[in-house]
Amino acid sequence: MVSQENSSPDLTSSPEVKPDEQMQVYVISFNGFGTSSRDTIFSKGERSPTGMRQLDEYLERRFAEHPQAVVHTQNFDYDEVSEAVEYLQSAEKVDKLIVVGHSYGGRATYEFAQQLSADQKIDLQISVDAVGWGNPETPNNVEQTVNFYQREYWWDKGYSIPWGVDRNVTGAENINVEQKYNQELGHLTIDDFEPLHQEIGNLIDKKVKEEPTLEPKVLQQPNLETNLEANLDAENNLDF
């Protein structure tokens, strides 16, 4: 039996501020493989529910009446990194920036960090069973990274991901969700896991209450131009 944390923030401990003084918090999420029009191994019609979209809905409910901040959520497919950057650039004010992604969407959070201007930092980067980077390093313009993962299996039936799940991101807090919650999960179910949504909400709530501690840094990451086509070919050749 999974014990679920309280899904409501502790509003009593946060002093209310005037509406025009509220912190503007942006949470950008990226879906994993199977959600984009370029994906071919899954039948795709209209945009189907994903764990990241469910997370956005949960965060909207949870932070709807936060006394300190207005939390803006926006969901993108993993191949819409440029669109996500444009969306952020259109914002008038960004006090806190959180980015989260599952599977290829986890990888998209790193691409997103690289495409930002040098003076734009990410306060919190969260990857959920990210694939395709090969255990990357936390980008220089990211203040905090949390990496959630399960075993190295593609699905509950045990299909192995040929290029592996990122389980040891350098500079991140790496958390085995199955071990923490004593719950068997697969790559396609970890992003739907409600206790994980609640834990992500807790991380965001804590980050909202923190004072800024990191000056933006100039990106010094190596050019990790994606091997996306190769990875997609590998997925297309999986024997289901």
Residue 164 belongs to domain with CATH number: 3.40.50.1820
For residue 45, being part of any structural domain is answered with yes
Q: Which domain holds residue 201?
A: 21-236
Looking at residue 130, its pLDDT comes to: 86
Q: Has residue 15 been placed in a domain? A: no
Residue 16 lies in a domain: no
Vertex 114 angle, CA 110 and 119, to 5°: 125
- The pLDDT score that the predictor gives to residue 118 is 79
Q: How far apart are CA 109 and CA 4, in angstroms?
A: 27
User: Which backbone phi and psi does 12 adopt, to 5 degrees?
Assistant: -70, -25
Q: What is the pLDDT along the chain (240 residues), one digit of tens a residue?
A: 444 444 454 544 555 666 667 899 999 999 987 765 555 444 444 445 689 999 999 999 999 988 889 999 999 999 999 999 999 999 999 999 999 999 889 999 999 999 998 789 999 999 998 886 566 788 899 999 999 988 755 544 444 444 456 678 888 999 999 999 999 888 888 899 999 999 999 999 999 988 755 454 333 333 444 444 444 444 444 433
In the prediction, which pLDDT does 202 show?
97
Is 2 within the bounds of a domain? no
37 falls within a domain: yes
**142 found inside a domain:** yes
Q: Say if CB 163 and CB 234 are below 8 A apart.
A: yes
> Number of H helices and number of E strands within the chain?
6, 6
Assigned domain for 1 exists: no
How many domains, in total, are found in the chain? 1
Residue 3 lies inside a defined structural domain of this protein: no
